[in-house]
Amino acid sequence: TKIYVANERSNNVSIIDSETKNVTAAIKVGRSPYGIAVTPDGTKVYVANCGNNENLGKTISIIDTATNRVIATEKAGFSPVAFGQFMAPLPAQPSFPAANFSSNLTAGYAPLSVQFTDFSRNAEGWKWDFGDGSSSAHQNQVYTYSRAGNYNVTLKVNNKNGTDSKLATIIVLAQPVFSASQVSGKTPLSVSFTDQSTGSPAEWNWTFGDGTYSTEKNPVHIYKKPGRYPVTLTLNETGNRTAVTKSGYIIVSNGFETPVAAFSASPSSGKAPLAVKFTDESTGAPTSRKWNFGDGTRSTAENPTHTYDKAGLYTVTLTVSNEKGSNTLTKSSYIIVSNALNGPVASFSASPASGKAPLSVSFTGQGKGAPTEWKWSFGDGNTSTDKNPVYTFNKSGLYSVKLTASNEKGSNTLTKSSYIAVAGISNTPVASFSASPVTGNAPLTVSFTDRSTGSPASWKWYFGDETNSTERNPVHTYNESGLYSVTLTAGGAGGTNSLTKTGFIAVSGPLFSTPVTSFSASPVTGKAPLTVSFTDQSKGSPDTWKWSFGDGNDSTEKNPVHTYNKEGNYTVALTTTSQGGSNRVQISRYISVTSENSIVPQKTVDAVPVTAFSATPAIGSVPLTVSFKDQSTGAPTAWKWTFGDGGNSTEKNPVHTYNKAGKYNVTLTASNANGNNALTKTGYILVSGVSDAPLSRFSASPTSGKAPLTVSFTDQSTGAPAAWRWTFGDGSGSREKNPVHTYNESGQYTVTLTASNANGSNALTKSRYIVVSSTQSGPVANFSASHVTGKAPLTVSFTDQSTGAPDSWKWAFGDGNNSIEKNPVYTYNKTGLYSVTLAVSNENGSNSLTRTGYIAVSDALNTPVSSFSASPSSGNVPLTVSFTDQSTGAPGSWRWTFGDGSNSTEKNPVHIYNKSGLYSVALTTSNENGSNSLTRTGYIAVSNSLTAAFSASPASGSEPLTVSFIDKSTGSPDAWRWTFGDGGSSTEKNPVYTYNRTGQYTVSLTVNNSESTSSETRSRYIIVSK
């Protein structure tokens, strides 16, 4: 029994269980509930709401007692507080039961535990039928379905008045789980699959990834081809399908041998065009063939015939394949095709072959043997590929021209040495210069000024004191006295011009004193033999002495002792010298020697003169007039002057003119009856030159032509040259004014003319002025060989057949070796097609002949045949595999590719596979005769140690459904990727995910580590209902 109490201030109605006296519920009603009335049948309660709220007050709330919910609210008058009367109870009606229930799950994977909750009315008894033959009489029941199926659940309720029932459906799905007896191995691989699903499904549908399937529960399947296969198990129970897929689950390697390529050809060498019949000799039942003939053509025929149209060395490749793999055999330089015809012969002419720059020359190609290509080299770095080019030579020179004529059979190169003679027109500069000052005392600083014409580009000065300069206007200091000749050489594109000014710079030095000679002797008289001691009494610090004793004897001692052995009167002279000059004193009859019985006379020695003089001026330029003044003492009575330039005088104070530049020694000898005294002043007079040297100029006709070339040279110099010196550039010269010279050999000749007179010289050089071309033809190369085809080693005798008297030979045999013999014998040790070149030359030119593909050397040995094994060929990562070479044919090198991006050049390598997969392995073996490649498709099968697996809880329920996913993978994954079937995903290991909409969702988990990847997909795994 229930009691309803209105709570005015709480705006609700409390429901009290009359037996327990507990409030079991509180029902929200209108504002300020005050009065309550109950219908006679007890199904409804009316509550008066007396509040003033427009919506909640002034109303009547009607409560359904069965559900304790407000089922209606009716408008009432102002402030209803109570009901005026209660309705009389109706006659009693029978109470019938009404069946109703709910379940926490309507679908899920077996085993599925479902909570059934009763919501029936007026029920006094309950009977549950779970649809699988099981039942229960409890009001609320938890029941577990162990088998998949669609189950109709029925609840029957009853009381004394009758019964009622309600039906609902529970869907139980089978969860697919399976395993395999082995997951990797060689073909044919037999795998036993075991169903481990829950829920006892009624049907199984397996797909094995190779296009086959099975409906057995635990099938056995044989994989016949290598590959990596996904496996899917789909379960069906009463139309409800669930599936799980394991990606790349079965890895099958190739268990069969691949085909082995082999072939032959006939013939394998010969002259073009060469038709060759190829025969496939492969083993292992190839189903397809690919030929590559090495000349850009291919074939897929079994035994093709191919024609080689051009000379060459052709490598042939055959690849044979079937479903088990492929094998490629390459025979290097297998087909050798030589040329049947000779190459072209080059020849050409030119017009004109000589002249002045710029010279335009028309060349005409005249090759024989149908050349298809021409290549000209004009000797100045430029070329042309025209047959008949016109070329302009812009600079003077002697040019060798080369023409190479070629076609597919070979080439021939003709070189005409010194063929084109081009004379220059460039002007040579004219050297000229001035200087200031040209005279003075040391140190004398002189500024030189270039006044050359003709745009010189370089200058070279020689200052006469062993120094030089390349400046245009140098300044030079002379530190010592002297008379210096200066030379300037001005250079330009056309040659050089050298101007020498003789004695141009006069530099006087400090005046050194000349010694004043004086001497005495003791005794000066006496009987023979008379020994006399001579004493030098000179002044001025002389540094040398020369005595003359008058009897034919002399001495260079300062104070000599001399013995006179015969009677007589002897004149004695002493000459002393120093840096400033010399002084000579001669005393007549100074020593008197008598016989033994004679009386020695008394002797008085009278003084001889002491010479001294001066000159004004002592330095200057030509013509220089000098006044000399005698300053001697000792009463000289006679004077004798020598001026150093060949002139002399006997005047006491003469005047003398110097007409040539120079440094002159002056001597004055003063005499009287007692003797004489000679004073010499060294370099006393300095006379510089001011007159210009001559200016060299010349012409020649002709300046170019063929040898022998006779050239007339004409002197055009100015400045009154008195002498000429020519050098013609070929080692000869002339001193004629206008010589004629013949050039007998080709070449470019530089001519120099040096014109000179008393004032100096001028040298003009014209570079490469005379250009003489050759008239002789060079040799023409030709040769033959005794054997042009054969197997290695092939010895070939070459014979020179060139014309034109070559004096040198150079052979190139096409394999990097050569010879300078006339008729060499050479051995080819390796297979190949060799082009041979002979270059011959003499002084008139050169010629080279190339015969393309002339010597054909075939192979005497076989190519290798690749084969190998591996152990093991399958297993889990990391898988270490030892490979063993089993090739034949003496390979010299190996190259392995392991299918995972790695390779090796070892003969028997060991390789570690770190990731799961199916790997094709290839081995290429090679030697000097060719190569062979063997590929074994899907040879190594590496399976996962990593296996993806997962569960979810709950796997079904009402929206929103929050599901906890649990990773159950094996093999230590370190990365996870979940896809939840509704567009959501996660990289967590054990994610929690909420489904917000109804549906059946497929869930996939992919796990990774450094070694492998594995994935598992469960179709319709999560079921979300309303």
Render pLDDT for 71-87 as a digit per residue (tens, 0 to 9): 888 887 666 665 544 44
319, two tokens? 């690849």
Per mean pLDDT, which range of 426-430, 607-611, 644-648, 862-866 is the poorest?
426-430
Render pLDDT for 2-16 as a digit per residue (tens, 0 to 9): 888 888 888 888 998
The whole-number average pLDDT for the span 144-173 is 91
* Top-confidence residue, 860 or 452: 452
Per mean pLDDT, which range of 79-93, 303-317, 576-590 is the poorest?
79-93
C-alpha span between 4 and 27 (Å, rounded): 10
Domains 350-363+371-425 and 511-553+577-691 share a fold: yes
Q: pLDDT band at 247, cuts 50/70/90?
A: confident
CATH entry, 861-943, from 3.40.50.300, 3.30.420.40, 2.60.40.10, 3.40.350.10 = 2.60.40.10
CA distances from 315 to 329, 818, 931 (A): 10, 26, 10
**Dihedral sign from CA coordinates of 817, 822, 825, 828:** positive
Torsion of CA 48, 51, 56, 62, to 10 degrees: -10
Helix (H) or strand (E) holding 101: strand 101-103
CATH entry, 511-553+577-691, from 3.20.20.70, 3.30.70.270, 2.60.40.10, 3.30.70.360 = 2.60.40.10
Residue 517 has pLDDT above 70, yes or no: yes
Q: Residue 219: CB partners within 8 Å, gap ≥ 6? A: 192, 193, 206
CA distances from 322 to 257, 258, 281, 302, 817 (A): 10, 7, 15, 14, 46
Buried-state track 449-471, b at ≥16 Cβ within 10 A, e below 16: ebebebebeebbbbbbbeeebee
**Of 1026, 980, 978, which is closest to residue 1002 (Cα–Cα)?**
980
The whole-number average pLDDT for the span 543-564 is 92
Q: Kindly tell me the burial class for residue 384, based on how many C-beta atoms sit within 10 Å of its own C-beta (0-12, 13-18, 19 or more).
A: middle
Q: Is the peptide bond before 609 cis (omega within 30 degrees of 0)?
A: no
- pLDDT at position 636 is 93
Highest mean pLDDT among 579-593, 612-626, 805-819: 805-819
C-alpha span between 392 and 352 (Å, rounded): 11
The whole-number average pLDDT for the span 159-173 is 91
- pLDDT at position 87 is 45
> Is residue 694 a contact partner of residue 719, using CB atoms and an 8 Å limit?
yes
Q: Residue 959: CB partners within 8 Å, gap ≥ 6? A: 995, 996, 997, 998, 1024, 1025, 1026
- pLDDT at position 341 is 57
> Is residue 451 a contact partner of residue 422, using CB atoms and an 8 Å limit?
no
Instruction: Give the 3-state secondary structure of residue 921.
Output: strand
Residue 90 has pLDDT above 50, yes or no: no
Q: What are phi and psi of 877, to 5 degrees?
A: -70, 145
- pLDDT at position 849 is 86
**Of 150, 214, 191, 178, which is closest to residue 1018 (Cα–Cα)?**
178
The whole-number average pLDDT for the span 288-314 is 92
Torsion of CA 117, 121, 126, 132, to 10 degrees: -50
C-alpha span between 754 and 743 (Å, rounded): 20
581: left (phi over 0), alpha (psi -120 to 50) or beta: left
Residues constituting the chain? 1026
Angle at 639 between CA 635 and CA 642, to 5 degrees: 145
Q: pLDDT band at 578, cuts 50/70/90?
A: confident
DSSP E strands, 397-510: 397-407, 410-423, 433-436, 439-441, 444-450, 458-462, 468-469, 475-478, 482-492, 495-508
> Is residue 364 a contact partner of residue 784, using CB atoms and an 8 Å limit?
no
710, two tokens? 């006779």
Other beta carbons within 10 Å of 656: 21
Does domain 780-860 match CATH 3.40.50.1440? no
Angle at 18 between CA 13 and CA 24, to 5 degrees: 45
C-alpha span between 645 and 660 (Å, rounded): 9
C-alpha span between 577 and 191 (Å, rounded): 132
Chain-centre distance for alpha carbon 192: 59
> Is residue 678 a contact partner of residue 516, using CB atoms and an 8 Å limit?
no
**Dihedral sign from CA coordinates of 492, 496, 497, 501:** positive
C-alpha span between 247 and 177 (Å, rounded): 14
CATH entry, 101-173, from 3.30.210.10, 2.60.40.10, 2.60.40.420, 3.20.20.80 = 2.60.40.10
> Is residue 129 a contact partner of residue 137, using CB atoms and an 8 Å limit?
no
Residue 861 has pLDDT above 70, yes or no: no
> Is residue 101 a contact partner of residue 117, using CB atoms and an 8 Å limit?
yes
481 residue type, one letter: S
Residue 52 has pLDDT above 80, yes or no: no
Residue 646 has pLDDT above 50, yes or no: yes
716, two tokens? 């055009």
Per mean pLDDT, which range of 537-546, 574-583, 733-742, 889-898 is the poorest?
574-583
C-alpha span between 331 and 313 (Å, rounded): 11
Q: pLDDT band at 32, cuts 50/70/90?
A: confident
Q: Kindly tell me the burial class for residue 700, based on how many C-beta atoms sit within 10 Å of its own C-beta (0-12, 13-18, 19 or more).
A: middle
- pLDDT at position 860 is 54
- pLDDT at position 442 is 83
Per mean pLDDT, which range of 83-92, 367-376, 831-840, 929-938 is the poorest?
83-92
* Threshold 0.75, pTM exceeds: no
- pLDDT at position 125 is 94
Angle at 733 between CA 731 and CA 737, to 5 degrees: 160
Map out the domains of the chain as residue ranges. Answer: 2-75, 101-173, 350-363+371-425, 511-553+577-691, 693-775, 780-860, 861-943, 944-1026
Render pLDDT for 735-775 as a digit per residue (tens, 0 to 9): 999 999 999 988 888 899 999 887 778 888 888 888 887 76
Torsion of CA 293, 298, 300, 304, to 10 degrees: -50
> Is residue 306 a contact partner of residue 278, using CB atoms and an 8 Å limit?
yes
> Is residue 494 a contact partner of residue 469, using CB atoms and an 8 Å limit?
no
Q: pLDDT band at 601, cuts 50/70/90?
A: low
Other beta carbons within 10 Å of 220: 11
118, two tokens? 């009763």
> Is residue 949 a contact partner of residue 971, using CB atoms and an 8 Å limit?
no
The whole-number average pLDDT for the span 231-247 is 82
Q: Domain 350-363+371-425 sits in which CATH superfamily?
A: Immunoglobulins (2.60.40.10)
Express as a percent the part of the chain with pLDDT over 90.
35
Average pLDDT of the chain, as a whole number: 86
- Name residue 422's beta-bridge partners: 355, 397
C-alpha span between 874 and 897 (Å, rounded): 17
The whole-number average pLDDT for the span 490-513 is 78
Q: Residue 87: CB partners within 8 Å, gap ≥ 6? A: 37, 39, 40
Does domain 693-775 match CATH 3.90.226.10? no
Q: Residue 166: CB partners within 8 Å, gap ≥ 6? A: 99, 100, 101, 120, 154, 155
The dotted CATH code for 2-75 is: 2.40.10
C-alpha span between 190 and 500 (Å, rounded): 112
Q: Domain 944-1026 sits in which CATH superfamily?
A: Immunoglobulins (2.60.40.10)
Angle at 375 between CA 371 and CA 377, to 5 degrees: 145
Q: Residue 76: CB partners within 8 Å, gap ≥ 6? A: 48, 49, 58, 59, 60
Highest mean pLDDT among 222-226, 853-857, 896-900: 896-900
Per mean pLDDT, which range of 247-251, 294-298, 793-797, 901-905 is the poorest?
247-251
Q: What are phi and psi of 983, to 5 degrees?
A: 95, -10
**Of 208, 246, 182, 176, which is closest to residue 1006 (Cα–Cα)?**
246
Other beta carbons within 10 Å of 35: 17
C-alpha span between 469 and 968 (Å, rounded): 97
Residue 317 has pLDDT above 60, yes or no: yes
C-alpha span between 145 and 132 (Å, rounded): 8
**Of 853, 862, 863, which is closest to residue 832 (Cα–Cα)?**
853
Torsion of CA 546, 548, 552, 554, to 10 degrees: -40
* Top-confidence residue, 572 or 930: 572
C-alpha span between 836 and 295 (Å, rounded): 22
Q: What are phi and psi of 310, to 5 degrees?
A: -125, 155
